[in-house]
Amino acid sequence: MKSLLSLSALLLVLHSCGENKSAPPKEVKQYTIEQFYKNKRTGAGLWSENEQRLLVHSDVSGIFNLYEIDLANGNMIPLSQSTTESFFAVDYVPGTNFVMYTADKGGDENDHLYLLKPDGSSQDLTPGAKEKAGFAGWTKDKKAFYYTSNVRNPQFFDVYKMEVGVWKPVMVYQNNDGYNVDAISKYGDYLALSQSITTSENRLFLYDLKNKQLKEISEAGKPGSHGASGFSADGKSFYYTTDVDKEFAYLVRYDLASGARQTAYETNWDVMFSEESENGKYLLIGINEDGKNKLLIRDAQGKDVTFPAIPDGDIMAVNISPSEKKMRLTVGTSKSPNDLYAYDFDTKELKRLTTNLNPEINADDLAAAEIVRYKSFDGQEIPAIYYKPLAATAGNKAPALVWVHGGPGGQSRVGYSAFIQYLVNHGYAVLAVNNRGSSGYGKTFYKMDDRNHGEKDLQDCIYGKKYLQSLDYIDKDRIGIIGGSYGGYMTMAAMAFQPDEFKVGVNIFGVTNWLRTLKSVPPYWESFRKALYAELGDPFTADSVRLHNISPLFHAKNIKNPVMVLQGANDPRVLQVESDEIVAAMKANNIPVEYVVFPDEGHGFVKKENEIKGYGDVLTFLDKYLKAAPPVTQ
């Protein structure tokens, strides 16, 4: 399936072109890249056994380390002091004074599970040299946990059980058929497995661990997307989402004993997930509502539970405590990073635990994200998230960037991005397009880019540029394109296939040679590989002709305008050679190109010093080639 909650729906805003040309620009304080990355990022938020502390990870040290937040006073107490690799919290280990976390090596994505001990030492629980492991949940009695690992076969993930204190893996399911392992019952009786058919269709199964029997849950003759959403607290039901017979995904409750199905929730947006609290007192339902998160909480009687609204808040994650008396909320806005809150169901008190926006930055100097829509070349309506520089007016025109998300099948969403806010704060309008093929807008829209990547979806980006040109405060001749991963591919496709459209391109670890990328997918993508080939093309077949034709590397001679490329040396998805070759090709053609490689990053940058260096260099590049310099002519 393709990659990838508001308290009230966001109004759709269409920008007017009727700016008052005599209006003076608003005075906005500009901030440095260092100030933007003095923001903190705080994630996780797991409850201690006495529910007086939360386990989190934060990059306040420059990379992610482990901390505890004391709920009584809000103090954040450091638990780890890593200076090389980021540590991400998994959970407290019940009945011990240990903490479990995950980490890889330099962004290689071979995540291991570790124990952090009180003396600061660590124990690698999954020490295989090329092993990739993932926590899959505690048993009901909390005396053991389940995890997935590809240590036996790099292509497939088996399921293991490890007893607390013994720390020895015991295989409970050997995955010989290449299924995706999606969920496991805490009672240890069922696994939820899926099999990818295409990126928009899969099959869903339940595997009875005791009787070794596999039963398909997806219905014959009714193709669609299915997503495991976990087992009920009492172990009697299984929740899943599906879009079978519908445009949007809805939530289904499946009775494990009888096989009866019941629609648990449906709306005119995708249901993203559901989760029952420890003893089933509450059911959480997350909805992707027009690029923003919406959260519903229902009690055991099916009644909605009210909780305080956070102004402009976008609820990104929730964790109800084991006693079901408290709830941790992770909430962000387009003008502020995610912060953690604690809510008490009995007292109705909502307590803010973090303030992650750098206090040197005034949020009033930042741009609020707005949802806009525009028509593409064929009349198809394209949704986008728009950030307008506060100082832009018809008399003070701003340069602009079309921003393309990763994927294929990702989604630009309302939320905080230090990088985007940095660019907007320095005078660049940013239009984050959700081109056809993006998730969140129904399965018809989702499938529209299948087998035409670099064509119709690229036109959506070009028509995003035309939308920007319709705004009288945008400098129509100074519009560039930027994106990461698949968005990096779209950037290079624009520069190679539509070389007169964008004045500059910023490619952040983007695919430039689909033949190599699709042949070299990581081994642990094996269960997804055929689905990826079904959408993009099989490089080992006649599809290779089209894949060659849409790969920017083989058309680099067409590129005429400046490009910047950023790459992680340890990226297992888009290999560094992809960026090396496109950069070399552009340099051979005397195209202005700047290239930044980080030796300690993978597919996405997590170290603050690297983000400051890379994204600061992006602004310097844009100021030189888009804002200040005249258009490059050949």
pLDDT score, position 634? 42
Predicted confidence (pLDDT) at residue 396 exceeds the cutoff of 70 = yes
Residue 402 pLDDT more than 60?
yes
Which residues 6+ apart lie within 8 Å of 483 measured at CB?
403, 404, 405, 406, 489, 490, 491, 506, 507, 508, 510
Distance CA 236, CA 257 (A): 7
Domains of the chain listed by start with CATH number:
34-265 (2.120.10.30), 366-513+551-628 (3.40.50.1820)
Helix (H) and strand (E) counts in the chain: 10, 35
- Contact (CB, 8 A) for 198 and 534: yes
Q: 331: buried, middle or exposed (CB in 10 Å: 19+, 13-18, 0-12)? A: buried
Q: What is the pLDDT of residue 535?
A: 84
Catalytic residue among 59, 270, 312, 571: 571
Q: What is the pLDDT of residue 311?
A: 72
Provide the pLDDT for residue 571: 87
| pLDDT score recorded for residue 8 | 28
In this predicted structure, which of 53-67, 79-93, 260-274, 523-537 has the lowest mean pLDDT?
523-537
Rounded CA-CA distance 254/240 in Å is 8
Per-residue confidence (pLDDT) for residue 23, from 0 to 100: 57
Exactly one of 485, 527, 551, 579 is catalytic; name it: 485
In sequence order, the β-bridge partners of residue 180 are: 194
pLDDT in tens, 346-379: 999 999 999 999 999 999 999 999 999 999 999 9
pLDDT at residue 105, rounded to an integer:
93
What's the whole-number mean pLDDT along residues 26-47? 94
pLDDT digits 0-9 by tens, 7-31 = 222 222 223 333 334 457 788 999 9
Per residue in 79-96, pLDDT (tens digit) is 999 999 999 999 999 999
Determine phi and psi for 53, rounding to 5 degrees: -140, 160
Per-residue pLDDT at 630: 58
- In 3D space, the residue among 194, 243, 240 whose CA is nearest the CA of residue 214 turns out to be 194
Give the pLDDT mean for 234-246.
Answer: 96
Q: Is 571 a catalytic residue?
A: yes
H-only helix segments in 539-599: 543-549, 576-588
pLDDT of 182 above 90:
yes
Query: Which of 601, 594, 544 lies closest to 571, judged by CA?
Result: 601
Q: Among 60-74, 452-466, 530-544, 562-576, which is the least confidently predicted range?
A: 530-544
Answering whether pTM is above 0.85, one says: yes
Residues 6+ apart with CB under 8 A from 167: 115, 123, 125
Q: Tell me what pLDDT residue 221 has.
A: 86
pLDDT cut 70: percent of the chain above it: 95
> Tens digit of pLDDT for each residue in 277-290?
999 999 999 999 99
- pLDDT number for residue 14: 27
Given a cut of 60, whether residue 208 has pLDDT beyond it is: yes
- Which pLDDT band holds residue 199 (cuts at 50, 70, 90)? confident
Question: Residue 469 is inside which H or E element, if any?
Answer: helix 456-469
Cβ(182)–Cβ(227) under 8 Å?
Answer: yes
Lookup: tokens for 429: 């309008």
Residues in contact with 10: Cβ distance below 8 Å, sequence separation at least 6, in sequence order? 289, 290, 291, 292, 371, 414
**First vs last Cα of the chain: how many Å apart?**
43
Cα–Cα distances (Å) from 181 to 157, 198, 243, 535, 572, in that order, read 7, 17, 20, 22, 21
Q: What are phi and psi of 260, to 5 degrees?
A: -70, 145
Least confident range of 214-228, 254-268, 301-315, 501-515: 301-315
- For residue 19, the model assigns a pLDDT of 38
pLDDT at residue 99 in the model: 98
Burial of 257 (C-beta count, 10 Å sphere; 0-12/13-18/19+): exposed
pLDDT of residue 9: 29
Please confirm, yes or no, whether 603 is among the known catalytic residues.
Answer: yes
Residue 309: CB partners within 8 Å, gap ≥ 6? 7, 8
Is 22 designated active site?
A: no
Q: How confident is the model at residue 534 (pLDDT cuts 50, 70, 90)?
A: confident
Interhelix angle 418-425/608-622, nearest 10 degrees: 30
Taking residues 509-536, what's their average pLDDT? 86
Torsion sign, CA atoms 287, 418, 454, 578 = negative
Q: Decide if 46 contacts 55 (C-beta within 8 A).
A: yes
Band of the pLDDT at 449, cuts 50, 70, 90?
confident
- What is 453-466 written as a DSSP string? TTTHHHHHHHHHHH
* Average pLDDT of the chain, as a whole number: 91
Mean pLDDT of 492-503: 97
Q: What is the layout of strands, in order, in the sheet containing 76-78?
A: 42-47, 53-58, 65-70, 76-78
- 4 pLDDT more than 80: no
Q: Is a pLDDT exceeding 80 seen at residue 561? A: yes
Residue 358 and residue 60: Cα distance in Å, rounded? 11
The closest alpha carbon to 62, from 90, 79, 87, 31, belongs to 87
pLDDT band at 270 (very low <50, low <70, confident <90, very high): very high
pLDDT tens readout for residues 51-66: 999 999 999 999 999 9
As a whole number, mean pLDDT of residues 159-164 equals 98
- Residue 453's pLDDT is what? 87
Q: SS3 of 37, please?
A: coil
pLDDT of residue 425: 97
- Whether the pLDDT of residue 463 is over 50: the answer is yes
Phi, psi of 94 (to 5 degrees): -55, 140
